[in-house]
Amino acid sequence: MRFLLIYPPTEPYFIQKTKARSFYGLSPPLSLLYIAKILENNGDAVTILDYSTKIFNEQTFFKMIDVADAIGMTIISPSLNEVKKIIELIKRHSPDIPIIIGGPHCTLRPKETLEETGAQISVQGDGEVVIQDITKALKGEKALTDIHGITFQTPQGIKCNPLAPIISNLDTIPFPARHLLKHSIYGREYNPLLKAGEFTAVITSRGCPYHCRFCSRSSITMQQYRIRSNDNIIAELNEIKEQGYRHVAFVDDCFPIYKKQTIKLFETLKNEGLDLNYSVTATRVDMADQELYKKMRRAGVTHLQFGLESGNQDVLDFYDKKTTIKMIQRAVHLSHETGFFTIGSFIFGAPFETKEQFQQTLSFAKSLPLDSVSFLPLRYMVGSDLWNEAVAEEKITEKEYIVLADKQRELGQYSAEELLKFCMNAQYSFYARPTFFIHLLKKSLHNNDMSFMKSFLSTVFSTMK
């Protein structure tokens, strides 16, 4: 069979016909690349459209549909509205082509997603095994009613099958089919000079053992945390090197978790001499360790990104971060001293949080040796504890999957517009300091590595897109 797999845009901007500029994605969609590899191993042909890297063109889109036997699409909650538009176009052009959806949003709301999008089949949980059974069903070799892990349309209505078992041994999953997106540009937030085929990502685990109240990852991964072996990770990184990549991002929900295993991993990577650069897109301050950081830096890690969230202990406790202000200070300083480009993200908008507390967080951020920051409004995300509580209290409805901490909804102290303005002003205030630019220049010169300055400029310009 011929499959067209689509990574949809998360913003309406990307699905316009009039824009004529080049785009690059933050990171390739590993979920689709894993599915693509399974399909290719079974003899199927696969094409991937990643709309984080290109502009939607209706004529080209229809041509690709015309040569496909089935469409697959991953859905995250922020992309749901754009997915609806894409599926509407598909149905108008080719009403009989099967449409299969999966991804985080489908795992959280399988029946509702089918109802809202009109797709035929929704996959919950790990898709690598399920997609093989779905392919058999499309070929008439198996009944959809016999496939665990899916919800599907029938003439009598939507039917929900039992969940499929999770893949307990992640080492059994073939490596992603990266060649399908080798022509796309990713990672310029880390280095603006990266070209197509030079940046990719790996994931060494699935799930997260923590339960921050604003996050839905635990629900998406069914409260399960699984890790790959070092041997399996190293084998994939060797393949990545052979494919010509230069920079690799570890995109786990949280990395690392186990100190001893991670130290051994980076010791081996150093000894292997792969000559790759690495970024860590999500790490915790309570994982900071001098020995570990030194091993990571020597192996080629250049960037660490922390979810810091707040400079107020009561806000950290409300989010159930299980971190302290002192932990944050220690981790960020250790990251800086080790030589990493250190990124921190903060959240404004806890229900009791005042503008004075926003200012305290901003002042706290300025006191840290951070090389890049983001200040984001609190969002009540479907599947998170905060979202579940707000639904139970009837402050939001079950059909509202992402809601800003808005005073009018009794979710915060300020309106959504005020909250967004606080975030934008904080971002500007942080970067507008001459002392910040001097700090970053000194760091670049000290490390004899101007990529830090390039990363800063790339990050700033990416926020202006």
| Residue 186 near residue 360 (C-beta atoms within 8 A) | no
Residues 135, 217, single domain; the answer is no
Asked if the structure places residue 170 within a domain, the reply is no
Residues 384, 459, single domain; the answer is yes
Residues 50, 134, single domain; the answer is yes
Choosing from 105, 125, 160, the residue where a domain stops is: 160
Residues 136, 198, single domain; the answer is no
Question: Which tokens sit at 438?
Answer: 């001097």
DSSP state of 380: E
Residues 459, 310, single domain; the answer is yes
Burial call 44-80: b when 16+ CB within 10 Å, e when fewer = bebebbbbbbbbbeeeebeeebeebebbbbbbbbbbb
Residues 195, 149, single domain; the answer is no
Residues 107, 243, single domain; the answer is no
Asked if the structure places residue 33 within a domain, the reply is yes
Asked if the structure places residue 171 within a domain, the reply is no
Q: Which residues contact 181 (CB under 8 A, 6 or more apart)?
A: 28, 29, 33, 48, 50, 53
Residues 216, 149, single domain; the answer is no
Residues 123, 223, single domain; the answer is no
Q: Tell me whether strands 247-250 and 199-202 are parallel, antiparallel or unpaired.
A: parallel
Residues 149, 267, single domain; the answer is no
pLDDT at 178: 98
273 dihedral zone (left: phi>0; alpha: psi -120 to 50; beta): left
Cα gap 177→412, rounded to integer Å: 44
Question: Which tokens sit at 389?
Answer: 């509580």
pLDDT at 74: 96
pLDDT at 292: 98
DSSP state of 285: G
Asked if the structure places residue 168 within a domain, the reply is no
Is-above-0.85 flag for pTM?
A: yes
The enclosing domain of 36 has a CATH number of 3.40.50.280
Residues 14, 130, single domain; the answer is yes
Asked if the structure places residue 172 within a domain, the reply is no
Asked if the structure places residue 180 within a domain, the reply is no
Asked if the structure places residue 357 within a domain, the reply is yes
Asked if the structure places residue 28 within a domain, the reply is yes
Question: Which tokens sit at 231?
Answer: 């041997």
Cα gap 85→43, rounded to integer Å: 31
Q: What is the mean pLDDT of each run of 10 residues along the chain (465 residues)?
A: 93 42 74 98 97 89 97 95 95 97 95 96 95 97 97 96 95 98 90 90 96 90 89 98 97 95 97 94 97 98 97 98 98 97 97 98 97 96 96 96 96 97 96 86 72 61 49
pLDDT at 380: 97
Query: What is the tally of structural domains in the chain?
Result: 2
Burial call 243-263: b when 16+ CB within 10 Å, e when fewer = eebbbbbbbbbbbbbeeeebb
Name the residue range of residue 77's domain.
2-160
**How many CB atoms neighbour CB 322 within 10 A?**
13
The enclosing domain of 238 has a CATH number of 3.80.30.20
